[in-house]
Structure 1
Amino acid sequence: MTVRIGVEEEFHIVEVETGRLAPRADAVLKGLPEYTFTTELQQAAVETNSGVHETLADLYDDVTGARRRLDAAANAHGLAVVAAGTVPLARAEDTRPTPGRRYRRMVDDYRMVADEQLICGTHVHVDVPDRDLAVRVMCEVSPWLHALLALSASSPFWANTDTGYASWRTMVWQRWPTAGPPGCFADAAEYDAVVQGLVRSGVISDVGMIYYDIRPSAHQQTLELRICDACPRAETVVLIAGLFRALVTDARARLAAAEPPACPGRHEWLRAAAWRAARSGLEGALIDPGTRREAPAAQVVRGLLGRVRPALEAAGDWPTVLGLAERALADGSAAHRIRRTAHHDDLLACTDLAIAETRGEERPRPRRTAPPRRVASPGQAAA
């Protein structure tokens, strides 16, 4: 039986003419079904929730359909949506928190961390009905998650500035107290005890604030991937979903065969690997999980493909995932495409590119007026 998958995507809401954030989530979401479209902490962001699917083709149709509906709703207000980790011209003063007791408490407790939550991610859910098994799989797949981050990297700019990173969203996200790689746990009881301890400490207010790179869902029988940037191209979402499902399937098989654990409980190198992926994307070195040494990104991604090929073939995903992965390596990360646009044009053109890719278009639509030129430094190349 094929393991089912689903995704959650976060989108920035921007003014088309200026590229600035627009706190108009309530207007954009009006009339859209709440089970598919919902709010986020900041009013300049919205989230979509896919259905649950067995095939990547069905997932792709769902994701692109939701994007079309959301784009049409935004366009009716002179706005657009952007699936990217950050948008280049974002400023905290251009948005405001979404009303509600929980969000108000988060703003009061975390201040600038919440104020500057101007980031969007892609989350993938994979069915793992046994919660004890989900916790063990979480540890098993963790050494490979940074490769998925590199594939998603789409946030080189922050507040008009080239950060030098492929995923600056990762750096912003890791300011939350429970972000980053999780620990390894023997079973769900041990994991849940740690989570409840964090809630009792007062550092977080509820279990929904466990922001690990991967976690067992608190309300579904799934394992949830959370490390990735939002992805301009829907094809990248499908690629990451296919790879993550294959990693989970592979891990379950290895655990059933009682193979030695891939992650022996040392997590300092997992955080370092995530930093390396956020810095470099696909354009520099990543950490090879086998050697824990630097290796070209293409080598690490192809190593991941080789590891999970049996799982991909069993699901019928191998041709699709291989083709999407090779295209990603050939085209470079979204961060690379965005930074290249800034080098040749300006930051508003970067936003136009991200809007176009979010819509499934190859290039931005012509502007009605010539905008003021905003030239950004391309920054130093990723190390």
Structure 2
Amino acid sequence: MYLIDHVPVSAPRRTADGYLVADAYVARTGIQTYLGEELGRPDLLNVRVYRPPEEVFSDATLRSFAHRPMTNDHPPEQVNAQNWKKYAVGQTGDEVVHDKNRVRVPLVLMDQDAIADYQAGKRELSQGYSSEIDWTDGVTPEGEPYDAIQRNIRNNHLALVQRGRAGSQFRIGDGRTPGAPDLSAHPQPQENHMSDKTILVDGLSVVTNDAGAQAISKLQQQLKDAQTAAGAADANHQAVIAAKDADIAKRDAEIDSLKGQVLSDAALDQRVQARGDLIGKAKAVHDTDYTGKSDAEVRKAAVVGKLGDAAVAGKPEAYIEARFDILADGAKPRDPVVVALGDRVTYRQPVQDNGYAASVAGLDYRTANQKEA
């Protein structure tokens, strides 16, 4: 992972050639705070990264601070042999030393524009380096909690910048020989590491620095996103409730409709009587099976059976009903008992006697008198 750290520039020395040289503390052990976005973790606002002494003071890390190109601001890419002439304005020396918790290197600015920027107030340094982030949390020996550990630190370049991460703790010249004159052309202005910004928070004006403004902006966006998500969830919930209410209302309407279709005992008896009368009339008009037919279908079937299909073709139901009533009035009503028994009872016509019964009676009388004699 490629990272950038900042340290301030102060009290350089000018050489006879016009170069600007100094010693600067450019790295330290301990905890530094990064934005989560810098470490590929936009879900985190800030990350406390611990630099153990064994990582900062390892031979490979210390060697990576020697003979590094210096740049005026950070270039858009890491510096290498192919682009060195394009970005380099100076370099670091090879006398890299460290004390209890800091690393010091000599450096030289050789480009006149970069020196002029320094003289105009550009005072701090920023490391451009790569490292591995071990997402292991814990507590330092000094009792400070951290979220991750920085390992395999390798410096790529050292940039002159307006503002640095480390503020005024590290400054070029901290390790210079006591009493050495400051040969810079202009006195140093007062350090101004962070500019004030006014942020509107819930209708209130809050004065903070760049980092605070960025943190507040991120929190405000997270709050807005949460409110949007909550609004969407509430709308979905209301839609589900409305759908269930509509379903319940539909079921209630169906139940009320079914209740209205239930017949009382008296109404049922009346309906049975009316149905029986209709079937009786229909069979008087035309004797056939009317099982399973509605009242209208019974009337139509009776008329068709009596007069044929042409009699009802294209006619409305009211016409068919009137035609049925006329036919039923002119038909001889049938015995309801016969209708109930399905016409299984047949009537036998009386046979004329023609004296046969009297002859049989006389014969029976003579036979009886002979037996008595």
| TM-score class, shorter | under 0.3
Rg: which structure is higher? 2
Under a length normalisation based on structure 1, what TM-score does the superposition of the two structures give? 0.20
Report the structure, 1 or 2, having the larger helix content. Answer: 1
TM value normalised by structure 2: 0.20
Higher strand fraction (1 or 2): 2
Higher relative contact order (CA 8 A, sep 6+): 1
